[in-house]
Chains A and B, each alone.
Chain A
Amino acid sequence: MTFEEIKLKLVSRFGDSVILKEEVTGLQAALFVHVEDLVPVCSFLRDTEGLYFDFLSNITAVDYEDHFTIVYHLSSLPYQHTVVLKVELEGNRSLDELPEIPSVTSIWRTADWHEREAFDLMGIYFSGHPDLRRILLPDDWEGYPLRKDYQEAEKYHGININ
């Protein structure tokens, strides 16, 4: 199914407002959805006949300095088509109040570790995630290293790390 057809299916189910904007300039077209629509859109993409996006390839969090973007790369094994979903989040830089987005773990279990990684390295809070611990860094690490404004710590447990 082509990008336009996928878009039409989504619009016919959720209405025009579901797609905030689209990005067709690059090599892979992407659909932007609202953060509140994410879980219903994802379930729809996975379960609808003709779409069956059953394979979540990748979740990436990107720091654009003024906002964060979470990118979902989906593909369908039976139909061999792919789609890119993007969600923009406000660029709240405070470590006490991370940007929040609902978890899609209930739809694809792949999301479990990918979301933990995004939480660990980029500081995105996935609400409803069953086990949102840091995955690659130690549990007591401070800050989120992939953020553009991350300041490297001088010491970790009294050991110089710089």
Chain B
Amino acid sequence: MANPKYKEALDRYERHLTEISTQEMVLNMGPQHPSTHGVLRLKLITDGEIVKEVVPHLGYLHRCFDKHAESLNYGKTIPFTDRLDYLASMNNSHAFVMGVERMLGLDSKIPKRIEYIRVLVCELNRIASHLIAIGTYGIDIGATTPFLWCFRDREHIMNMLEWASGSRMLYNYIWVGGLFYDLPVGFEVRCAEFINYFKPKLIELDEILTQNQIFISRTANIGILPADVAINYGVSGPMLRASGIKWDLRRIDGYSVYPEIDFEIPVGKGAMGSIGDCWDRYKVRVDEVHESVRIVEQCLERLQKDFKRTADFDPRALVPKKVNLKAQDYYVRAENPKGELGFYFVTKEKSDIPLRVKSRGPSFNNLSVISELGKGVLIADLIAILGSIDIVLGEVDR
């Protein structure tokens, strides 16, 4: 690169690393570190046990989502969206599909049964994603048992979604204009059985982790994120709600059939320490699992009563053979388990391949606040803070 202006920041950064004082040390955490939840590298400038500065290095899992989406048509991009936040594939493809449907003007024509199935599988996936967040957070801090319990329960959800879509984690189930298949016969009954099994397990989980004194000591009053800082950094989802802001796009935008469903939006109350600490972020996720269970129950009830399976029901009836859009742009956002997932489409005239697709990953924005939260904390607390952010590197690097 010829123009030195574009290397200035890099030079400044490298100079900064060499100019640290003698008692300070540069420490690499990751990319192969179990507590970074994937291939994230944090460069820490430490003074003994105290972290002076955190510099995140991303991109180890960059798979060029934006570039791929520019060369594939909309239907073919859906499997790629599954791989963004691979713990909540259903939610990703739901957001993407919603954007394309709105541009097509199809969103009001989608049958209610399809919308309820979408919400059902998305909420199941949200529970699965939060179970991972809760379980791995436990193991970050040193509690092994909740991790095993969470993975055991999550496996039931994985099996159910595999039954519906044919794949365990990356589903490609929600299509533009419909679904891959209708739910398999008996799904509703099995799902209801799972909910009955799962509810007592949630209470057990609460007893072992939420009320655990060691867990509270490690998380309460650690990594306090004030609401104004959270908003300024574009933090969204459970992390923003833990800072006391009632902001849930399922309610704000009221997309799909969420306006017809009754659920609460849990926010951080600072019950064990201050509002916006690690414990609050953990607790908001636990509460959200409870709410998602409620949503799943309501969806099951509607699917079994009002929008029953009929012999002539075709989930692909509205799936367009070719997505023909006029030139326009549209930003769609949806509430993912991690926060606001957005897709920005710029379409070309008479083409089913977009000119530009930009994905706004919630983890990407939530992670950016780590440099702020990680200033002056102990290295052990940095692990607790990072775990409470709940990142998925597939979405940070895209």
Taking Cβ atoms with an 8 Å cutoff, the residues of A that contact B are 25-28, 30, 54-58, 60, 62-64, 71, 73, 77, 80, 84, 95-98, 108-110, 112-113, 121, 125, 129, 131-139, 142, 145-146
Contact = CB atoms under 8 A, between A and B. Distances in A.
Top 8 nearest A-B pairs (CB, nearest first) are A110-B234, A26-B328, A136-B59, A60-B358, A58-B360, A132-B9, A96-B3, A136-B62
26 contacts: A26-B329, A26-B330, A27-B102, A27-B330, A28-B331, A30-B329, A54-B232, A55-B234, A57-B333, A57-B342, A60-B358, A62-B329, A62-B355, A62-B356, A73-B331, A95-B2, A97-B3, A110-B232, A113-B368, A121-B66, A131-B12, A131-B13, A133-B13, A137-B59, A138-B59, A146-B70
A145 B355 CA distance: 14
B95 to A, nearest CB: 13
Given A112-B368, A131-B9, 4 more contacts: A60-B344, A135-B59, A136-B59, A138-B59
Contact of B67 (A56, A135, A138, A145): A145
Contact of A136 (B3, B102, B329, B397): B397
Given A27-B102, A71-B329, A133-B13, A80 B358 contact: no
B80 interface: no
Interface in B41-68: 58-59, 62, 64, 66-67
A135 B365 CA distance: 13
Given A58-B331, A113-B364, A135-B58, A71 B344 contact: yes
B342 A73 contact: yes
Q: Is the interface of A mostly helix, strand, loop or mixed?
A: loop
Interface residues of B, number: 45
Contact of B340 (A57, A80, A138, A139): A57
A57 B236 CA distance: 9
A4 to B, nearest CB: 20
A27 B1 CA distance: 40
Contacts of B59: 134-138
Q: Is the interface of B mostly helix, strand, loop or mixed?
A: mixed
B379 to A, nearest CB: 23
B245 interface: yes
Contacts of A63: 356
B54 to A, nearest CB: 13
B365 A110 contact: yes
A64 to B, nearest CB: 8
A125 B5 contact: yes
Nearest to B235: A110
A80 B24 CA distance: 45
A139 B8 CA distance: 12
Contacts of A25: 328
Interface string B123-141: 0000000000000000000
Nearest to B251: A80
B358 A125 contact: no
Contacts of B344: 58, 60, 71, 73
Nearest to B355: A62
B203 interface: no
